A = this chain, B = another copy of it.
Amino acid sequence: MSYVTEELAARLKAAREAKGLSQRELSALAGVPQSHISKIENNAVDLRVSSLSSIAHALDLELMLVPRKALPAVQSITRSVASAPVINAETQRELNRIRKTVDALASRASGANIENLQRRIREITQIQSQIDPEILQKIRRTIEAIESSGSNEAVNRAVENIRSLRNQLAHRAASHEKPRPPRPAYRLEEDQDG
């Protein structure tokens, strides 16, 4: 295929892997057959805008037409945002296991606290910084314990557990950051804290 689609394919694949999704999972999210996603990532098709956009959307990416003049600035920004993809592969896998466990749990038992649990997990998944896999493992054990007990208490305990971890992560991420860029003249996202 062409050079443009080659870059696109690479970016899609990278984004998917960064999110720790399998082709089949992405397939479900984007509504596109796994076989087709495979072809797309291997740059074997000249895909349509609708496909590209639905896949990109599932990966929290947005399709844009940016003026050539603005390219350097835009690239600089997207680079700064896309940085810190340096997440341990093992950590990534552990996060996926957790997510799946929770999803499985949610499919059987529902409730406000379970949704809470899911939300917390999602938060952590998005933090994308170095996390001690051991801690994650403990979290997972806790969640898995819920499946047998099925008690509300267990769920709430897990939620608290995760909430604490999230705070640890946020703190660690802040201290790990570079000594701050000279002056962040543009804002990367609207305030959207809950």
A127 within 8 A of B: no
Q: What is the bound-complex CA distance between A67 and B83, given in angstroms?
A: 11
- Given known A63-B65, A77-B74, A186-B73, contact A48–B48 (CB-CB < 8 A): yes
User: Interface residue tally of chain A, by bracket?
Assistant: 35 or more
A72: chain B residues at CB < 8 Å are 187-190
Chain A 165-194, CB-CB to B under 8 Å as 1, else 0, gives 000000000000000000111111110000
Are B49 and A46 in contact, CB atoms less than 8 angstroms apart?
yes
A61 within 8 A of B: yes
Pull 30 A–B residue pairs with CB atoms less than 8 Å apart, ordered by A.
Answer: A2-B50, A2-B53, A4-B49, A4-B50, A5-B53, A8-B65, A12-B65, A47-B48, A56-B65, A61-B66, A61-B68, A62-B66, A63-B64, A63-B66, A64-B65, A64-B66, A66-B66, A67-B81, A69-B81, A69-B189, A70-B81, A70-B189, A73-B186, A73-B188, A77-B77, A183-B183, A184-B185, A185-B185, A185-B186, A186-B186
Residues of A within 8 A of B (CB): 1-2, 4-5, 8, 11-12, 15, 46-50, 52-53, 56, 60-74, 76-78, 81-82, 183-190
